């Protein structure tokens, strides 16, 4: 099929193949780069938030809890602000009241929580079990689909490292009376020192970030297609002017010479390969004229 095509058509076909290949490779590379950038952006947001929540937990543990711990036995109702997990969760819920962050989520997903709002669902339970089965794992990241859309999550294990934490979680007998009065004696007990009891999770919505990346990809690809198209058209125009048209002229003159019209000359307008070819044809025509004259003289 290619053999039957004219030279101009072959050049156009090659340029189109190069154009399509260039667009495909550029699009794939750009898509990967933008996807990596979007994932890095949501990861950065999640890490910032999880560090903020850890700061709230540390402040509660080191400053709030010592001030209020003595009142847990005398108060009729448990003071949840003494619990780092409660403080972090409440602070994050206030943070989510901002319309911009309403789809961000924080949870200390616990298998056996005191407050049932912290109970791990099936997905979170698998993460806690994975942390328990693989103690060397310090962080798990990924994407999951929730009712609000797809989110990127970071999960880290929560380990009981302080004996003071077991006051409320070892046995009901050791727990503050106000805790039993508020939450009962059924949940949140039996924890052990150095045991992984929960997964600290931050979920950041990723749909908008990746949608923005896709829009950027579409915009950049549109610009690239336009640039490639202009380049291909310019190359095609240049090839026709600099290569195809001179070759066509040489072909027409050669056809005239082949029919005996020795007055036709091969036009040499450049010193490139096309010009060299025209000069070679002129020399060949001159040699042919000399040879024909010699033949005519011999015949006479």
Q: For residue range 90-114, list pLDDT tens digits in order.
A: 999 999 999 888 889 999 999 999 9
Q: Is the domain of 199 the same as that of 223?
A: no
User: Is residue 26 one of the residues assigned to a domain?
Assistant: no
Give me the pLDDT at residue 38, please: 81
Give me the pLDDT at residue 78, please: 87
Q: Is the domain of 45 the same as that of 62?
A: yes
Q: Is the domain of 183 the same as that of 40?
A: yes
Average pLDDT over residues 24-42: 84
- Does residue 1 have a pLDDT over 70? no
Give me the pLDDT at residue 147, please: 80
Q: Is the domain of 35 the same as that of 170?
A: yes
Q: Is the domain of 13 the same as that of 41?
A: no
User: Is residue 163 one of the residues assigned to a domain?
Assistant: yes
User: Is residue 149 one of the residues assigned to a domain?
Assistant: yes
Give me the pLDDT at residue 199, please: 95
Q: Is the domain of 161 the same as that of 270?
A: no
Give me the pLDDT at residue 128, please: 94
Q: Is the domain of 132 the same as that of 247?
A: no
- Whole-number average pLDDT of the chain: 84
Q: Is the domain of 45 the same as that of 158?
A: yes
Domain count of the fold of the chain: 2
Cα–Cα distances in angstroms (integers) from residue 258 to residues 7, 113, 135, in the given order: 22, 99, 88
- Expressed as residue numbers, the domain containing 277 is 2-20+215-299
User: Is residue 25 one of the residues assigned to a domain?
Assistant: no
Give me the pLDDT at residue 268, please: 64
Among 10-24, 136-150, 175-189, whose mean pLDDT is lowest? 10-24
User: Is residue 275 one of the residues assigned to a domain?
Assistant: yes
> At which of 172, 207, 242 does a domain end?
207
- Does residue 187 have a pLDDT over 70? yes
Q: Is the domain of 185 the same as that of 202?
A: yes
């Amino acid at each position: 099929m290619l053999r039957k095509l004219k030279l101009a058509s072959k050049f156009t076909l090659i340029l189109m193949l190069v154009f399509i290949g260039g667009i495909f490779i550029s699009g794939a590379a750009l898509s990967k780069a933008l996807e990596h950038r979007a994932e890095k952006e949501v990861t950065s947001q999640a890490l910032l938030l999880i560090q903020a929540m850890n700061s709230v937990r540390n402040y509660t543990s080191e400053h709030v809890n010592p001030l209020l711990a003595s009142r847990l036995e005398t108060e009729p109702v448990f003071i949840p602000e003494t619990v780092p997990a409660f403080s972090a969760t409440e602070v994050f819920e206030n943070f989510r009241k901002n319309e911009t962050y309403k789809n961000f989520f924080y949870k200390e997903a616990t298998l056996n929580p005191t407050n049932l709002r912290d109970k791990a669902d099936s997905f979170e339970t698998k993460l806690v079990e994975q942390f328990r089965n693989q103690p060397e794992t310090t962080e798990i990241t990924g994407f999951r689909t929730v009712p609000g859309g797809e989110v990127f999550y970071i999960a880290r294990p929560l380990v009981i490292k302080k004996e003071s934490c077991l006051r409320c979680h070892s046995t009901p007998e050791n727990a503050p009376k106000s805790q039993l009065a508020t939450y009962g004696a059924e949940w949140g007990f039996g924890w052990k020192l150095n045991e992984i009891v929960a997964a600290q999770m931050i979920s950041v919505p990723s749909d908008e970030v990746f949608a923005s990346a896709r829009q950027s990809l579409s915009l950049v690809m549109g610009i690239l297609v336009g640039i490639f198209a202009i380049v291909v058209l310019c190359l095609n125009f240049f090839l026709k002017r600099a290569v195809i048209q001179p070759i066509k002229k040489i072909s027409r003159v050669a056809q005239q010479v082949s029919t005996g019209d020795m007055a036709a000359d091969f036009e040499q307008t450049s010193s490139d390969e096309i010009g060299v070819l025209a000069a070679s044809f002129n020399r060949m025509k001159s040699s042919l004229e000399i040879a024909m004259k010699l033949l005519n003289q011999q015949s006479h």
